[in-house]
Structures are given as C-alpha cells and as structure tokens.
A and B are shown apart, each in its own frame.
Chain A
Amino acid sequence: DQQVKQNSPSLSVQEGRISILNCDYTNSMFDYFLWYKKYPAEGPTFLISISSIKDKNEDGRFTVFLNKSAKHLSLHIVPSQPGDSAVYFCAVRRVWDDKIIFGKGTRLHILP
C-alpha cells in the first residue's frame, strides 16, 4: 500500500513558466511534509517543507501548499529555470519518530 503517491512520473515545463508538482497521501498521522530534489548520481537534497498546521510555505521561487482535507500537497516553482531539471520526491514524516516515507518521484524537465 502506497502511502505517498506522485501520479505524474514526469513533467515538462517551458523555462520561465510555473512548474506544479503534485502529491497525495493516505494517512492523517503525519506532521510534516517535505519535498526533496535529486540530481543523477547524487543523494536527495532537502528543498522545502511545511508543517501540518500550515497551508502554505514559501521560500524564494518555491512554494508548497498543503490541503489537509484532501490529503494533497503541491510544489510550485516559479519561474522555472534549467537547473530545476531533476527528480522531485514528495515525502511525509511520521509524528513520533521522524521517519520519512517517500513517493516515487516526478522527473521535471525544464525546456529552453
């Protein structure tokens, strides 16, 4: 049973436009939601997170939105840049032990 679902394996976006990556989760027992970015041959890099008590968190070009009633979160990148081309993992953190559960990832291609 997949607790974190990223239904789009890949996404292509024109440079300068907005990239929107989506994620759904199934369990309400998570207190933190995170996005990681991964380049080939490197480990995942923490990008941005949001607490379950908030519905939006912004950091520069990156904004994460959380809809708890729908168990849905999204990552907005605006404007998209060539260096944003990577695999993006949505992840949720369990309340009691900081254990992270990852989705399968979405590969983002920024087109010139």
Chain B
Amino acid sequence: DTGVSQDPRHKITKRGQNVTFRCDPISEHNRLYWYRQTLGQGPEFLTYFQNEAQLEKSRLLSDRFSAERPKGSFSTLEIQRTEQGDSAMYLCASSPDGQPQHFGDGTRLSIL
C-alpha cells in the first residue's frame, strides 16, 4: 500500500499529557499537510511543509503544538500538555506541487 500512512490510529490520553503522531506521506510527495477535524466540521488546516521547510502555521496551532519534517519524508505532530479541546481527528495529507492532496485515515485523539 503506497498511500499516506498515519500512526497511531487512535490515541487516548489524560489531560496534561504529551502526545506525538506520525505521518508517512506518499513517496516523493514534496508537500505535507496537517489538518484537524472535529465533529460536524470539515478538515481545518493546521500547517504544511514543502520538503523539510515548514511554510505556514494556522492560528489554530497554539504554542503547545509543534510539527517537524526533519528529512523531508515523514512528519511528526506533537501536542504538549493536552487539553479537552484537543480531542479531534488529526489528518495528514501529501501531494506533489499543484496536485490534489491525498489523505491518510487520521489519528483520533481522545482526551480523558
């Protein structure tokens, strides 16, 4: 399977804990995007990378959130000191320049 892969699929954690998600994009896709989706909403943009460079961060991305793509391949999204409002589906997508984005199946985060 050569689609976008996300790990884990589900994460349950207590409020205040740190969590890290991983995304493996489709090979040779230079762009990688992170989105968050809550119930009844469409995916909301968080941040994106062009190769290893993080080019934009949404206002939704508070200072508790950090994303990396160190070698221009896989990416990680870390949330520190999780809060109830962080409960959501976190989606990763990748694309070549100018082409439609391909999404992974997401990581569902539940904060207890």
Chain A residues engaging chain B, CB cutoff 8 angstroms = 4, 9, 34, 36, 41-46, 49, 89, 91, 97-105
Closest beta carbon of chain A to B78's beta carbon, Å: 20
Chain B residues engaging chain A, CB cutoff 8 angstroms = 4, 31, 33, 40-45, 48, 55-56, 91, 93, 95, 97-98, 100-106
Q: Count how many pairs of residues, one from A and one from B, have CB atoms less than 8 Å apart in the complex.
A: 51
> Which residues on the B side are within 8 Å of A41 (C-beta)?
105
Q: Are B44 and A34 in contact (CB under 8 A)?
A: no
A/B interface sample: 16 pairs, CB < 8 A: A43-B104, A49-B100, A89-B43, A91-B42, A98-B31, A98-B101, A99-B33, A99-B45, A99-B48, A100-B45, A100-B101, A102-B43, A102-B44, A104-B41, A105-B41, A105-B42
Q: Are B45 and A44 in contact (CB under 8 A)?
A: no
Closest beta carbon of chain B to A101's beta carbon, Å: 7
Q: Are B97 and A98 in contact (CB under 8 A)?
A: yes
Q: In whole angstroms, what is the CA distance A80 to B104 when docked? A: 26
> Which residues on the A side are within 8 Å of B42 (C-beta)?
4, 89, 91, 102-105
> Which residues on the A side are within 8 Å of B106 (C-beta)?
43
Q: Are B103 and A45 in contact (CB under 8 A)?
A: yes
Q: In whole angstroms, what is the CA distance A87 to B45 when docked? A: 18
> Which residues on the A side are within 8 Å of B33 (C-beta)?
99-100
> Which residues on the A side are within 8 Å of B4 (C-beta)?
43
Q: Are A46 and B41 in contact (CB under 8 A)?
A: no
Q: In whole angstroms, what is the CA distance A99 to B104 when docked? A: 17
> Which residues on the B side are within 8 Å of A44 (C-beta)?
43, 91, 103
Q: Are A98 and B41 in contact (CB under 8 A)?
A: no
Closest beta carbon of chain B to A37's beta carbon, Å: 11
Q: In whole angstroms, what is the CA distance A102 to B37 when docked? A: 10
> Which residues on the B side are within 8 Å of A89 (C-beta)?
42-43
